[in-house]
């Protein structure tokens, strides 16, 4: 036994605000090693902010985030750099470098972060592209890819160094049903094949609950529900039920909080 926790990530009483806008108000969650965990919630709930706090791009105003036994906001620059070598990230918009080929996009983190010889990098790049079904696209440029293909290349780059943790920020946004299903199944299959841990941040309920082991639903800056996909689907919480079943009316409001419409228009109440 190496004394490590069963959880790769532990988040305790996490608070964060952008100026006066309090986004997170005491989040508590854990991500077990080897599992795929979903973080669900409407747009603006703070899902992507949690990823930034895990990666150390943001610092919490309260609470803490621990990654593999390390408290993220206590690390210095060198410590953050070393920690991030254990993380892979699939960005919300893909984030591919537009002026270099698919091959060079996958090779980039290998060249920047390792001393591997070119021959080994070549084989590893083709291996990652084969894993996402795109080995034949290695010489294409990003602008020659369809939306689904670009997401798969971004996924291959995220796992280029076989990280302990891979984070997926809205991986299904804007995809057609076939591409969406392909990406979802790849996330599950690659996580299991690599023995890694994955976080999927999304508002896409139906596809996410097919592939995650456990999920958290965030609303109002806190975790309002957590459980297996079956437990969330059968949740009695009104906000969870509304979100899971895409109901227009319920506690999750459509309008951003503000003064009444009548007041803004100068009309009597």
pLDDT tens digits, 163-196? 999 999 988 877 788 888 888 888 898 899 888 9
Closest CA relative to residue 54, chosen from 31, 28, 27, 72: 72
pLDDT tens digit string along 107-118? 999 998 899 999
Q: Is residue 269 part of a domain?
A: no
Chain segment 40-91, per-residue pLDDT in tens? 988 788 899 999 999 999 999 999 999 999 999 999 999 999 999 999 999 8
Q: Residue 1: which pLDDT band, with cuts at 50, 70 and 90?
A: very low
* One domain, residues 178 and 198: yes
Same domain, 149 and 50: no
Residue 197 tokens read as: 């841990």
**26 pLDDT higher than 90:** yes
Q: Do 70 and 1 sit in the same domain of this protein?
A: yes
The residue range of the domain holding 135 is: 94-162
The residue out of 130, 162, 194 marking a domain boundary is 162
Instruction: Let me know whether 172 and 221 are in one domain.
Output: yes
Look-up: residue for tokens 């965030």? 218
Cβ burial 159-186 (10 Å sphere, 16+ → b, else e):
bbbebbbbbbbbbbeebeeebbbbbbeb
Please report whether residue 236 resides in a domain: no
Distance CA 260, CA 258 (A): 6
Residue 256 covered by a domain: no
Nearest to 69 by CA among 88, 51, 83, 90: 83
- Among 162, 182, 205, which residue terminates a domain? 162
Q: pLDDT at position 147, please? A: 83
Q: How confident is the model at residue 251 (pLDDT cuts 50, 70, 90)?
A: low
Is the pLDDT confidence value at 103 over 80?
A: yes
**CB-CB contact of 218 with 224 (8 Å):** yes
- CATH number, domain of 195, equals 3.40.50.300
d(CA 266, CA 247): 32
């Amino acid at each position: 036994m190496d004394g490590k926790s069963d959880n790769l990530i532990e988040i305790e009483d996490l608070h964060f605000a952008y100026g006066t806008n309090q986004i997170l108000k005491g989040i508590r969650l854990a991500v077990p090693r080897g599992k795929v965990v979903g973080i669900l919630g409407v747009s603006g709930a703070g899902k992507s902010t949690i990823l930034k706090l895990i990666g150390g791009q943001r610092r919490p105003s309260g609470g803490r985030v621990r990654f593999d036994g390390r408290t993220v906001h206590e690390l210095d620059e060198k410590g953050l750099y070393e920690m991030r070598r254990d993380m892979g990230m699939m960005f919300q918009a893909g984030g591919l470098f537009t002026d270099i080929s698919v091959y060079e996009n996958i090779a980039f983190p290998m060249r920047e972060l390792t001393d591997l010889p070119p021959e080994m990098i070549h084989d590893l790049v083709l291996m990652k592209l084969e894993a996402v079904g795109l080995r034949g696209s290695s010489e294409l440029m990003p602008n020659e890819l369809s939306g689904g293909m670009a997401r798969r290349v971004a996924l291959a780059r995220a796992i280029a160094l076989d990280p302990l943790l891979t984070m997926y920020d809205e991986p299904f946004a804007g995809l057609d049903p076939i591409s969406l299903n392909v990406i979802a199944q790849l996330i599950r299959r690659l996580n299991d094949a690599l023995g890694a841990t994955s976080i999927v941040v999304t508002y896409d309920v139906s596809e996410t609950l097919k592939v995650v082991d456990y999920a958290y639903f965030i609303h109002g800056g806190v975790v309002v529900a957590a459980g297996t996909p079956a437990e969330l689907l059968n949740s009695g919480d009104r906000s969870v039920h509304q979100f899971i079943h895409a109901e227009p009316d319920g506690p999750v409001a459509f309008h951003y909080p503000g003064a009444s419409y009548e007041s803004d228009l100068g009309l009597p109440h």
